Chain A
Amino acid sequence: MEVIKIIGTDDTPNVILDANNNIFEISGRSLPEDVASFYEPILDWFDDYAEETNKKTIFDFKLVYFNTASSKLILDILLKLEEMYEAGKDVLVRWHFPDDDEDMEEAGEEYADIVEVPFEQVSYSLD
């Protein structure tokens, strides 16, 4: 299984998709110049992973900022997770937000409403 590791910058997120170590996470800031081509390999990765999933897949979103163009691609990732869940896989989405960031909390609530997948909101402190 291919491992995706992208080191974040001030406009692209950190991405780790590592089935061997059971780490699946996207964190940081997302406002890439070309949002579609940034997320393309990530979405492609899911098609392979869906063929041979781990026993349990916990996907962590720990974003501090994303623009609306990215929000559409984040939904596409969640829809891939939904597909896996609907195919009977054990999937959990954990949406992390800073405890003082209502907008990020709300964004999680909205995604949870849209996709049919177990969804957990986790607040964390920046201090």
Chain B
Amino acid sequence: MDDNKTDIKDFLAFAYSFYKTVKEYKINLVYEGEITHQIIKAFTSLTETNMEIDEEPTSIQKKVFHVMVESLQNISKHSDHLDTENQRKEGRGVFILGKNNDTYRITTGNVISRSNVESIRNQLTKINNLDKEGLKLFYKKQIKEGRLTQKGGAGLGFIDIAKKTGNKLNFNFLSLNDDYSFFVLTSTISKNI
């Protein structure tokens, strides 16, 4: 019984420190769980409403919308860690939308097979080394040659995010065990362009 009380106390302390952290990083939305089509619709529509209230220019609204959709769909299509016990098919991951005076920052985190780390790293590095014209060419090549995967991925998400934001993609891979890594990606939309 006493143990239980300590647990609850700890948990309340955690809730408060979580709240403080969210405020400190100016986070508007944070989520961990399955990324379904319904979730994508709910988050984008909530964010659109908030941006309307903030009187954000249409061009920024559209870019934020674009990047949110592609980032969330990346999780739902590429997250590898399937919950075999519960037979869940949808990808899971973390989604964070942060906003400060100059930028919107969209971060996703999800588990991937370690065997996929290299190819993702290479693709992101390649994209980050391209300028605007290079990205356009890469996009055109990929849209012509790429095939839609079973899950509906076109292999264009990262390129599109880089094109639309004009900023470099920040990413990291954290090793979880022999088989899996945690992939974190942050895209930045500048408000003053």
Indicate whether A and B interact: yes
* C-alpha gap A106/B132 in the complex (Å): 12
Q: Which residues of chain B have C-beta atoms less than 8 A from A10's C-beta?
A: 41, 45
* C-alpha gap A31/B70 in the complex (Å): 10
Q: Which residues of chain A have C-beta atoms less than 8 A from B156's C-beta?
A: 68, 71-72
B157 contacts A68, CB within 8 Å? yes
A110 contacts B140, CB within 8 Å? yes
Question: Given the known A-B contacts A103-B62, A113-B140, A114-B140, are A68 and B70 also in contact in the complex, defined by CB atoms under 8 Å?
Answer: yes
A71 contacts B154, CB within 8 Å? yes
In the complex, B37 has a CB within 8 A of chain A? yes
Q: How large is the interface on B (under 10, 10 to 19, 20 to 34, 35 or more residues)?
A: 20 to 34
A35 contacts B143, CB within 8 Å? no
Rounded to whole Å, the gap between the CB of B39 and the closest CB of chain A is: 11
A-B contact count (CB 8 A): 62
Rounded to whole Å, the gap between the CB of A81 and the closest CB of chain B is: 16
B59 contacts A102, CB within 8 Å? yes
In the complex, A24 has a CB within 8 A of chain B? no
In the complex, B65 has a CB within 8 A of chain A? yes
B152 contacts A110, CB within 8 Å? no
A67 contacts B73, CB within 8 Å? yes
In the complex, B51 has a CB within 8 A of chain A? no
- Could you tell me the dominant secondary structure of chain B's interface residues? helix
A36 contacts B70, CB within 8 Å? no
A36 contacts B148, CB within 8 Å? yes
- Which interface residue of A10, A11, A65, A67 has the most chain B CB atoms within 10 A? A67
Q: Which residues of chain A have C-beta atoms less than 8 A from B148's C-beta?
A: 35-36, 69, 72-73
In the complex, B144 has a CB within 8 A of chain A? yes
* C-alpha gap A101/B66 in the complex (Å): 13
Rounded to whole Å, the gap between the CB of B125 and the closest CB of chain A is: 20
* C-alpha gap A114/B73 in the complex (Å): 25
Rounded to whole Å, the gap between the CB of A121 and the closest CB of chain B is: 16
Q: In the complex, given contacts A31-B40, A68-B157, A72-B148, what are 7 additional A-B residue pairs having Cβ atoms less than 8 angstroms apart?
A: A10-B45, A65-B65, A67-B69, A69-B73, A71-B143, A72-B146, A72-B154
Q: Can you report 10 A-B residue pairs in the complex whose CB atoms are below 8 A from each other?
A: A34-B152, A35-B152, A65-B62, A67-B73, A71-B160, A72-B143, A72-B156, A103-B59, A103-B63, A103-B164
